[in-house]
Structure 1
Amino acid sequence: MPVVNRIADFATDMTAWRRHLHQIPELALDLPKTAAFVAERLREFGVDELHEGIAQTGMVAIINGQGHDAPDAPTIGLRADMDALPIPEETGVEYVSGHAGNMHACGHDGHTTMLLGAAKYLAETRNFSGRVALIFQPAEEAIGGARIMVEEGVMEQFNIGEVYALHNLPGLAEGSFLTTPGPIMAAVDTFHVRIQGVGGHGAMPHETRDPVMAACGIAQAIQTIVSRNHYALQDLVVSVTQIHTGTVDNVIPDTAYINGTVRTFDPEVQDMVMRRMEEIVAGQAVSYGVEATLDYEVGYPATINDADKADFAVGVAREIVGEDRVVPDATRDMGAEDFSYMLNARPGAYLYIGQGDTAGLHHPKYDFNDAIAPVGASFFARLVERAQPAA
């Protein structure tokens, strides 16, 4: 079955919604214009309930299907992220960002549009049983809006039994789908190392305790965690991404700063990295005669699809685009996603939808491909109808 005909009928409207959202990119939890636009559309569609102000600017819209008032009526959750990124836009499109320095460089404007398209169709047809909870989430790119929504009780409050999400993927054929059972994205942690030495004249290093050399030693030693403390067939990334120190060529500074990211799937591997990083920082500090502190921040957990729900979602995707345009067993990657918190709370699946040959995610020339919005909306709609068929 191809794109749902009724959704194809209002594809032009979806493009208009998406491009409006593209012009008002907002960050983290502070999405007043975006949330107001989404809420206005949902009221126009006639959703049965609209709960706003969750995680500050997030919301959950409820659409009742047949038999929704039965005590055991199921509720399926569909999630879209709404926030943008602090990146100056370089697309040159006529609907360019009107918020200087911010842009929708990850396609969350498109994700929101796809879920709005599904909402419009489901509110019109109601060809399903139970209820659907449409979750519009802020702060995926930072803070973890999904975590906040889960902590504020959305799963329990709306009796959500399973939950699904889509993310566009540049480089994947336009309108195709990709997912995998089990882990699909990694846990992400951040580390900060702050080094305090004694600065002095660059010509007299013997009178200093050089934080620059200590930073170099720590950065190199951290890389041995992957190469010498870890089994090579398990997934692990430890990347030093920033070293800041010094001001001029003839002054040894007092301080240095190191920052980086850790990506894991196994909690035991994550624990090992934290332990070894503490040992390395402490040991290197003694070696170089400086003081060093490690601040290790545990971030989003691994995104893990429920195997049965992923298989079900693959079947729905095949109905929409055909068997040859769905990859059911893709290789997991080291990116991260806060939808992991929702998948920790309820079984479900996270899928990619092909964006085609475009600029990559988080690139200043990226723009969501409007042609795939009806495909994603059709997937969401059929997912509900297949998971909770009408009597």
Structure 2
Amino acid sequence: MTPSFSGSPSVSESLLDRIRPALEREISGAVQLRRRLHEVPDLSGQEGPTRDIVLAEMPGDLIGMVAGTGALVRVGGAGPAIGVRAELDALAVVERTGVPWASTRSGAMHACGHDVHLAALVALCRALQAVPGAVPLVAVLQPREETYPSGAQDIALSPLLRAQGITAIVGAHVQPTLPRGQVAATPGTVNAAADEFQVVVRGRGGHAAYPHQTSDPVLALAHVVVALQRVVSRDVDPTNSAVLGVSTLSAGTAANVVPDEASARGTVRALRERTREHVHARLVEIAELVARAHGCEATVEITRGEPVLDNDVALAVRAGALLTELGLTVSRPLTSFGADDFSYLSAAYPGLMMFVGVDGGPGARLHSGDFLPTDDAVRDVAMAMLCGYLAAAERIADDRLAAQANL
């Protein structure tokens, strides 16, 4: 039996019963679309051709272009609508899968499953178009998920999206760490805020044979890097952890020259905004003071990235109740220090990001040249998107009932 929710049981029962068979009929075509998209990936900021392929298969009305190479499409009539996001961009990765429909563009690959997400969204939109009376859906075709500046941030601020009466927004992402057939619809925090930083230490260079005549920024930076490792282990509550990682170091041009400056870059991740701000403050303080102790000066530049991604609790619970009806299993709660700029959209609207288990090949990892979800992933992602859409449709029904009760 289809689960009944508070509000109007007919929303979940009627829509699911009508949309599901229509969606099943669209899956084979969506698989072929996924393969077409996989063959011709476009890197971030260059997604116009990918967008046009998708728009040619997408029903509904084109609202307009957003975020440069993105687009919004409305399926259904007027009134409150539900947003569903899929990403347009590929990665600068060399494909190693060897399939006949592998990337034909050297150094570019859909290595994060965005081809699957796009095809699944097209299938869902085509199914909804065939079902009279379905709650309107706004397809959010988003560019630049993999790079800065964030395409989702631009879309969240777009007047075009705000004019659509969005009541909730839904996303689904393939996840090879989950078994195929499992979907995580976790209430609350699921992804961390993600920021980047650069520390530049300036000293006084000179001949390496006369270190006493220099203020060595390399030595100072080395001590900064070591000191930064105490921030998470000693300054952050261990029940509310964070990540502070230094990933690049740069200094000098010759073995016998002490340079004038040295630099490091890295990332800060946190699951709470207070923790994020605290780590930022300690990063600056430690870099400046340690450098000063070595006779140098340090400057820190922090580039704020995606905010924390929080799933709306009611949407997550409702979607989870529907997943089993569509032949999928609700996985364990899934929270990670990965980041997704969907968080800009879920900060602007009640949001739900689900993670869909896939078979991506032996030793599959996201962003790997070997990562290739099987064709089953298109159906599973489409069904997860449908669950999120139906959960949001219940929210609209609840709001309508509440408004009627207040008349």
When normalised by structure 1's length, the TM-score is 0.90
Contact 1:127 1:385 in 2 (8 A): no
- Which piece of structure 1 moves more, 112-121 or 149-158? 149-158
Report matched runs for 1:1-391 at 5 Å.
Answer: 4-42=20-58, 45=59, 47=60, 49-64=61-76, 68-69=77-78, 73-128=79-134, 130-142=135-147, 143-322=149-328, 325-327=329-331, 330-356=333-359, 358=361, 359-381=364-386, 383-385=388-390, 387-388=392-393
Residues of 2 paired with 1:242 and 1:126: CA distance? 55
Deviations 1:51-105 (A, max 9, x none): 23211111111111xxx44xxx431111111111122222222222222222111
- Secondary structure of 1:314's partner? helix
- Which piece of structure 1 moves more, 114-123 or 19-28? 19-28
Residues of 2 paired with 1:280 and 1:381: CA distance? 48
Give the drift of 1:357.
5.2
- Secondary structure of 1:388's partner? helix
Give the RMSD, CA atoms, in angstroms. 2.2
Residues of 2 paired with 1:379 and 1:281: CA distance? 45
Residues of 2 paired with 1:214 and 1:175: CA distance? 51
Which stretches of structure 1, 4 residues or longer, exceed 4 Å deviation after superposition?
Answer: none
Contact 2:315 2:388 in 1 (8 A): no
Seen in structure 2, the aligned counterparts of structure 1 residues 384 and 348 have a Cα distance that, compared at 3 Å, is same
Residues of 2 paired with 1:380 and 1:179: CA distance? 11
Residues of 1 paired with 2:351 and 2:269: CA distance? 22
Deviations 1:127-183 (A, max 9, x none): 52x311111111111121111001113442110001110000013111320121110
Give the drift of 1:4.
3.6
Residues of 2 paired with 1:59 and 1:361: CA distance? 25
- Secondary structure of 2:186's partner? coil
Seen in structure 2, the aligned counterparts of structure 1 residues 148 and 286 have a Cα distance that, compared at 3 Å, is same
Give the drift of 1:353.
0.6
Give the drift of 1:267.
1.7
Give the drift of 1:204.
2.2
Give the drift of 1:190.
0.7
Report the number of matched residues: 377
Residue identity in the other structure for 2:173: H
Residue identity in the other structure for 2:71: M
Give the drift of 1:361.
0.4
Contact 1:85 1:105 in 2 (8 A): yes
Residues of 1 paired with 2:359 and 2:382: CA distance? 17
Contact 1:176 1:321 in 2 (8 A): no
Seen in structure 2, the aligned counterparts of structure 1 residues 333 and 11 have a Cα distance that, compared at 3 Å, is same
Residue identity in the other structure for 2:345: M
When normalised by structure 2's length, the TM-score is 0.87
Seen in structure 2, the aligned counterparts of structure 1 residues 255 and 386 have a Cα distance that, compared at 3 Å, is closer
Contact 1:30 1:56 in 2 (8 A): no
Residues of 2 paired with 1:334 and 1:102: CA distance? 25
Residue identity in the other structure for 2:215: R
- Secondary structure of 2:169's partner? strand
- Secondary structure of 1:14's partner? helix
- Which piece of structure 1 moves more, 249-258 or 177-186? 249-258
Deviations 1:30-55 (A, max 9, x none): 2111011011111xx3x1x1123211
- Which piece of structure 1 moves more, 311-320 or 200-209? 200-209
- Structure 1 gaps, min length 5: none
- Secondary structure of 1:146's partner? helix
Give the drift of 1:312.
1.0
- Structure 2 gaps, min length 5: 3-15, 398-407
Residue identity in the other structure for 1:369: T
- Secondary structure of 2:197's partner? strand
- Secondary structure of 1:85's partner? coil
Residues of 2 paired with 1:355 and 1:89: CA distance? 18
